Amino acid sequence: MENKAIKVENLTFRYPDAESDTLKNISFELDYGEVLGIIGPNGAGKTTLAMALKGLIPHTVDGEIQGKIIVDGKDVLKHDISEQVLNSGLVFQDPEGQLSQMSVEEEVAFGLGNIGVPRAEMVKRIEKALQTVGLAGFEKRSPLALSGGQQQRLAIASVMAMEPSIMMMDEPTTMLDPVGKNEVFKVLKSLKEKGMTGVIIEHEIERLTMYCDKILVLHEGESILFGTPKEIFSDLMLLKKFKLRGPQVTEVAYEVFNDKEQIPVVLDEAVQSFSKELKA
């Protein structure tokens, strides 16, 4: 039996008064336990797609939508937004903008209260979520007194505690300094190891290759490429056609290796390929 975490079929969307479609006939599937990275230039439609997967489109953001979106077995276009909260959690770019409560533990509790999680269960979930993102011991602090990386980890904990079947993140590290970025990527890596199903919009291609199972490349609202990081990033010529770059190791290796089948897309792989080349 077919059981996909996400199934998108011929999704087309147009904002009210827009002259053209922002999403054009997009189709892809994601299995449970897989992480999808969405990349593409500014204005390609990445955030719009994330909002559609989450059900914000069309339930809170208006527009003309066609096609099918099934997330965790539910038809997003037919279900009310309140049901989507349980389905998929969304972490945004701006860490401070998504925090509103007085203390770290209240921040995590807030969403749980909204979905009616009983008190005892809430305490357990808060502890587990803060532990996972490395914020145990910060329960009583003000979210606003945290660093950017800590704030974003708190935002992730708040979403995680709701136990959504799919975690969605829209550029969760873009506004962070290198230390904050590393902190968040470490958390994402550990969530991935725990079997998280996720969707992440991210500009840091090097990072994406490390923990995404699939990559979707959007360009002017169209899904131009979909596949494994290896399939997508080793074809540099194709990426360049759409003004995208590959991981740095791939770009360097492309100049060195004749056998394009052997082009690495992650650092570990590159080290192996280069040492083999040097020995040859």
Ligand X SMILES: Nc1ncnc2c1ncn2[C@@H]1O[C@H](COP(=O)(O)OP(=O)(O)OP(=O)(O)O)[C@@H](O)[C@H]1O
Complex with ligand X: residue 40 or 198, whichever CB lies closer: 40
| Amino acid identity at 136 | A
Distance CA 78, CA 53 (A): 12
**Least gap, CB of 19 to ligand X (angstroms):** 10
Residue 203's Cβ-count burial label (10 Å; 0-12, 13-18, 19+) is middle
**Least gap, CB of 262 to ligand X (angstroms):** 32
Distance CA 81, CA 54 (A): 8
Contact 167, 6 (CB under 8 A): no
Complex with ligand X: residue 15 or 254, whichever CB lies closer: 15
Complex with ligand X: residue 42 or 258, whichever CB lies closer: 42
Complex with ligand X: residue 18 or 102, whichever CB lies closer: 18
Tokens of 219: 């360009």
Tokens of 15: 């904002």
**Least gap, CB of 22 to ligand X (angstroms):** 4
User: Nearest 10 degrees: CA dihedral of 254, 257, 259, 262?
Assistant: -70
**Least gap, CB of 14 to ligand X (angstroms):** 9
**Least gap, CB of 201 to ligand X (angstroms):** 7
Interface contacts to ligand X, rule CB under 6 A: 15, 18, 22, 40, 42-48
**Least gap, CB of 91 to ligand X (angstroms):** 15
Q: What is the per-residue DSSP string for 105-168? A: HHHHHHHHHHTT--HHHHHHHHHHHHHHTT-TT-TTS-GGGS-HHHHHHHHHHHHHHT--SEEE
Distance CA 271, CA 62 (A): 49
Complex with ligand X: residue 33 or 43, whichever CB lies closer: 43
Complex with ligand X: residue 46 or 192, whichever CB lies closer: 46
